[in-house]
Structure 1
Amino acid sequence: MRSSIHLTAREQRITWELLETLHSSLDLHEVLRGAYGVLCQLVPADHGALCVSLPEDPAAYDWAVADLPPELFAGYGALAPHDFVRSAVIAQPNVVLRDSEMLPRTAIERSVMYRRSRELGMRLEQAMAILFAVEPSWHGGITLYRDRRRPFSDRDRALLQHLAPSIAAATRSCRRFGDSIRRGDALEAALRREGMEVLVVAPPASVLSRSAGAEALLGRWFTPVERSASALPAPLATALGAAAAAPASGPPAAPWARRASHGELRADFVPFVERGRTLWVVELRERAVAAAPAAWRGRLTERQVEVAERVLRGWDNALIAEDLGCTPATVKKHLQRVYDALGVPSRTGLMAHAAQRG
């Protein structure tokens, strides 16, 4: 989520500096260390921690920034279950929380984390944090601390919430592409796991490299007129131009999509900087048509089958109408006849009926 907030001239200047830092490299530690220094100009803090973690393994933390005593992190695997900050943000991912929203003050002062910090000569009196639950396989997080009783304000919270999507996106880019782009085998393994193909593009449309299956995928989705040997297909080049022209501080662009009778192709555009120039990773994901069960075909007309299959893909009536060249009202009539023929009450019932028949 991205909050709505009016930035002062100073805040705008620092925000632009932060965004430039986030896109300055694909080295996770370099990016997050730089971002932390700039972030503290907007939201003053005495200490902080920025990390990437594996949800299933509390001990697997990659501390990109640990502006706290090393002893505090040396045994963090054992301390993690008692960390009230960690517990709170896991329960409310992608939302900035202050310590007052995590635990009552008396409970904080009785907590293992608070007592441990005081044993190390620190006074972690106030905290503010957010967990980036961007992908199932990993999480990212930021925690800011103050060592005196000066609570983080509503403005502090709004600023961090406003910047959180950009920090999360940069962390995601570093995790996915930082080392892998320079190690082809690792990139291919990551792509197979993610179920996608990628192109690395220099604006406006020069393809520098591509994953092993990208060429075949492009051949399935773009005509020879739209394609050339070394350039991004024209529709993708147009979408990339729009993404590159969008303000860096704005929300991420919606994925580009093309739909056909055999399925759907989606493209996301992820910027990164290498040797001082901005390049783009174009992520391509293909989704095949959800076929209607064979038993339906004897009970539905050909057009009703086409409508039902698009419902199984999760399309709404307007999208189905656009794809089939008719009106939403016509789609609604076809869909009602599908419900009547199959004895189901709704879209949800239709999907359940299909699932029961394999």
Structure 2
Amino acid sequence: MGLVLANEYVSSTKGGGVMADISSTTGPYRKAVRRFAAEQVLPYYRDWRAAGAPPRDLWLNAAQSGLLETSVPAAAALAEETGRAGVDLAMLLAHSAIAVPLILRAGDNALQHRWSSALVSGRLVAAAVRPYRSATQDAQACTARAVPDGRRYIVYGQGGLTCPGSDPDLFIVPAYTGRNADPAGLRLFAVEAAAARVGRRRLRLENCGWDSIEVSFDDVVVPAGNVLAEGARAAVELANSAMREAVWAAHASAGAAAEALRRLSSTRPVTATAEQARLRGDVGDAATQLAQAAHALADDPLPVAEARHLHDLCSRIRQHLDSRLAGVTPRSA
């Protein structure tokens, strides 16, 4: 896998870094994302933010527009293009690129038959529950417990928080089958939000523009067929989902930085100053690092620390560009 960032600002800096033809394969998808953002998100985005979450139609409309792709390239493209548009739709990625692939890959035949069509069409929304105190989906932070009971489990305790902006019908929940955090006892469960004794509380975290759902379980009965992963595999799935979230956040920041750079290039004076040239170089460096991260992610899990670094780097570039653009009059056509 290679770079998913837009060619126009990568090639204008330092030769494009690690380039591949993945941009061309996501070209039509990118256009669909841009059209979707312009027509079905931006006109309502301010109201959605005030409400704390987008309407359920967002998932249905995204599916009808062909945007609920499960591949890594498509997810990165969606993150970049929505970052360019200045909107945060991470809740779509939490559904289509993390929860749905896990259910379709690991769920048993009965579970897939019951949910696959609704998940792919956006009629059913799924999201992972992140343990408390764990921005990285650390399995050791899981506090929910699951007691085996024949062909079912009894799940209890605090589950954690959903992706901001997502109020799903289906939770992917990590829980241990013992009192201690023994890796062999870790399980990933698919739990229906409408199940009896599932607690849900909406809250907004500090510095977050969307509401999250705090999930708890009071002896919730979960069929054994709803176990998606066990032991070491469950821990890997948790870590991989966090890595992908971090990489997509970096792509979104890079998309926002690219848009700021485009605006910078269209302002007076036309001749780039030394500062503008330096900013171009910074964005080029970020693009190259994202290319390397994307390449590594295709073959081997990307270290969370590296993904965080990329996200922070792109965020700093975006802030710097925005500060440079403040009060600048766009060049007339």
Same-fold call, TM cutoff 0.5: no
Higher strand proportion: 1
Bin for the TM-score computed over the shorter chain: 0.3 to 0.5
Task: Calculate the TM-score normalised by the size of structure 1.
Answer: 0.30
Q: Which has the larger radius of gyration?
A: 1
Q: Does 1 or 2 have the higher relative contact order (CA < 8 Å, sep 6+)?
A: 2
